[in-house]
Amino acid sequence: MSDFDRILERSAQLLDGPATDARISTLLRSLPHIDPAQLTPWVRQQTQSASSDAVTPDELRLITSLIDLTSLSANDTPESVAALVRRAVSPEADLVRPALLPATAAVCVHADLVGAARVALDDAADAPVALAAVAGGFPHGRSPFAAKAAEVEYAVAAGADEIDIVIDRGALLSERYARVYDWVLAARRLVERGDGTRAHLKVILETGELPSYDSVFHAAIIALLAGADFVKTSTGKGQAGATPEAAAVLLQASAHWREETGETVGVKVSGGVRAVEQARAYLRLARVICGDSFVTPASLRFGASALLDDVLRTLEPLR
């Protein structure tokens, strides 16, 4: 049985049949309610604890290894993307002193620049950096299905290792849950390559534009039902980026999924993550909710551009 067939089988088992609005709604109603009055003070307590100890070089190395170094500007060029790749591969290349930081987990670029990023990564020779691309109507996710699908196919064919798509939030909020599920499922099939390999699929929920923590949790579970490898907070282009509370909800969705299925799925915190202290708070939440083993590039990422700058600033006096 293929991985994709296993996704369909697992989904049918959890939903007691094919994915429909009614079946998905029944599953969502069975999930725990997330009370903001309890979540907010608990998250505040955890994040305050994260900053109680002095930062260490090892912690800065860990944070660097979890970064998807991102550039999603309208004026990105093949040359700027190549420079981004070089920085991801060697974050301290411009420094005279010996390097202390590892490569970042990935670079993340627009779909049309995947080819340029692939060339730059291949030139770096065995660079341990994945190539991620936003695709499928980023950042709104509201393009016609054929256009979204074509963009995902293009990015995979051009050499992307990971694809970040966006859910249809309008469908989610109007309880057309099967429409959300169907798009993620389609994207999961589209990331498969002819040679039997596939790109990993990250699903952006744009948590800052969802009306409640329950809706964030529900969106994450729908994405996981449809085969997402990661659930991700934000595009960085919406009204609000990541928050510790939203990240905690996604981490709880990952923990719930592992309890239900035995599978570990990742969480990507993206949108406004600029400072080491923010990253330390998210690390604390991940460890408390999902365990120490969760804090690896395979299951936790920071989508960021400025975060690496702050890592370097924080590291300098610790050398």
Instruction: Identify the helix (H) or strand (E) that includes residue 130.
Output: strand 130-134
Catalytic (active site) residue 232: yes
Going by C-alpha positions, the residue among 146, 166, 165 that lies closest to residue 156 is: 165
Neighbours of 316 (CB within 10 A): 10
Q: Which two tokens stand for residue 212?
A: 């409640």
Compute the CA torsion angle 235, 285, 215, 275 (nearest 10 deg): -30
Axis crossing angle, helix 177-190 with helix 3-15, rounded to the nearest 10: 160
> Which is catalytic among the residues 161, 164, 229, 310?
164
Q: Does residue 139 have a cis peptide bond before it, meaning omega lies within 30 degrees of 0?
A: yes
Please, what is the Cα angle at 9 between 248 and 222, to 5 degrees? Answer: 30
Going by C-alpha positions, the residue among 57, 118, 117 that lies closest to residue 92 is: 57
Task: Report strand pairing: 230-232 vs 266-270.
Answer: parallel
Specify whether the CB–CB gap between 303 and 108 falls below 8 A. Answer: yes
Task: Report strand pairing: 266-270 vs 67-70.
Answer: unpaired
> Which is catalytic among the residues 68, 148, 202, 268?
268
Cα-based distances in Å from 132 to 72, 115, 117, 118:
11, 11, 9, 10
Half-sphere exposure of 314 (CA within 13 A, CB side): 24
Going by C-alpha positions, the residue among 106, 166, 161, 127 that lies closest to residue 301 is: 106
Specify which residues 230 forms β-bridges with. Answer: 202, 266
Alpha carbons 302 and 279: distance in angstroms, whole number: 8
> Which is catalytic among the residues 68, 202, 232, 310?
232
Catalytic (active site) residue 35: no
The 8-class DSSP code of residue 318 comes to G
Catalytic (active site) residue 237: no
Question: Which residues are the active-site residues?
Answer: 164, 232, 268
